[in-house]
Amino acid sequence: MNPGPRISKDPEVRKEELIDAAEALFEEKGYDDTAVSDIVRKVGVAQGTFYLYFRSKEEVLEAFADRLVNEFTVKMREIEDDPGRNAMEKFVLITRASLSLTVGREKMTDLIHEERNAILHYKLEKRMLPSLINTFTRVIEQGNREGLFDVPYPREAAIAVLGISQQFGEGTSDHTMKSIVMESLERILDIIERVLGAKKGTFLDHYKELGR
C-alpha cells in the first residue's frame, strides 16, 4: 500500500546494477532459470522498474553480452596495439585471453560451457568473433611483415586458428581434461605453426616464456 521509499538513481547506474545482478544470477542458475523477479529482488527494486530499463528479459541478456564483448574487445585492442611485442607474443597472449574469455570473470568460462547456457554462448560468440577475427588477422599480417609467419590469406588463417583453439578449448570445460590439454599443447602448436608457416618449435618457446 505505501509505496515504500522511492530511491531515484542515475539511470545509467541503475541499469548497471540490474545487469550486474543479472550476470550474477545467470552464472548461478543460468538464463532460463533466472526470473526477472530474482533480478529485481537482488537489486532491491520493484518488478516494474526492470521494465523501465529493459523492454524484456532477453534485453538484459543482450546488454550483459554487449558489456562483456566490449570489455573483451578492449582487451584485444590493447594487445593488438602493443608496440613492444612481436606477432608471436601477441598471438600467444590473444589465444590465452580468448580461451579464458573471462577477462577476470573466472566463473564465466564454466557459465558459457554449461549446456543450459548454450544461448548465451551463442550470443557471445556471434558478437566476439568479428573483433577477434580482425585482431588475429592484423597480428598475422604483422607476423608476415616481421618474417615470423608466412601466411598467404591472413583472414582465413585467423578464422582457422580460432576454430582450432575453440575445438581444443571445448573439451577444456571439464577441469579434469586441462592437464591432458597441456600435454598435447606441443602437438597443437605444431599444427598452428603449420597453418601460419612459422618455424617449428617457435611457438612453444614463446608459450613457455610467457609463463603461466
Alpha-carbon distances, residue 193 vs 88, 187, 211 (angstroms): 10, 10, 19
> CB of 70: closest distance to DNA in angstroms?
22
3 contributes a contact to its own copies by CB under 8 A: no
Assess contact for 77 and 135: CB atoms under 8 A.
Answer: yes
Nearer to DNA, 33 or 150 (CB): 33
Please, how many CA atoms are within 13 Å of residue 63, restricted to the half-sphere of its CB?
18
Q: What residue 159 binds from DNA, its own copies, none (CB within 5 to 8 A, per partner kind)?
A: its own copies
Residue 17 corresponds to which cell in the numbers above? Answer: 546494477
CB of 107 or CB of 126, closer to its own copies = 126
- Measured between its terminal Cα atoms, the distance across the chain in Å is 58
Q: Do 31 and 112 meet the contact criterion of CB atoms below 8 Å apart?
A: no
Distant-in-sequence, close-in-space partners of 203: CB < 8 Å, separation ≥ 6: 88, 91, 92, 189, 192, 193
CB distance 137 to 155 below 8 Å: yes
The interface with its own copies within residues 119-138 (CB under 8 A) comprises: 119, 121-123
At closest approach, how far in Å is the CB of 159 from its own copies? Answer: 5
Three cell numbers written together for 135: 585482431
212 binds, among DNA, its own copies, none (CB under 5 to 8 A by kind): none
By the rule CB under 8 A, 33 interacts with its own copies: no
* Residue 167 interacts with its own copies (CB under 8 A): yes or no: yes
Q: How far is the CB of 158 from DNA (least distance, A)?
A: 37
Sites of contact with DNA (CB under 7 A): 1, 3-9, 11, 14, 33-37, 45-52, 55-58
State the alpha helices, DSSP H only, in the chain. Answer: 11-29, 36-43, 47-53, 57-81, 87-100, 106-113, 118-146, 154-170, 178-183, 185-196, 202-209
- Which CB atom, from 43 or from 103, has the smaller least distance to DNA? 43
Selected from 99, 156, 202, 204, the binder of its own copies by CB under 8 A is: 156
Nearest to 109 by CA among 203, 177, 211: 177
Residue 51's binding partner among its own copies, DNA, none (Cβ under 5 to 8 angstroms by kind) is: DNA
**In terms of CB distance, is 50 or 207 closer to DNA?**
50
Which residues of this chain interact with its own copies, rule CB under 8 A? 1, 10-11, 115-116, 118-119, 121-123, 152-153, 156-157, 159-160, 162-168, 184, 187-188, 190-191, 194-195, 197
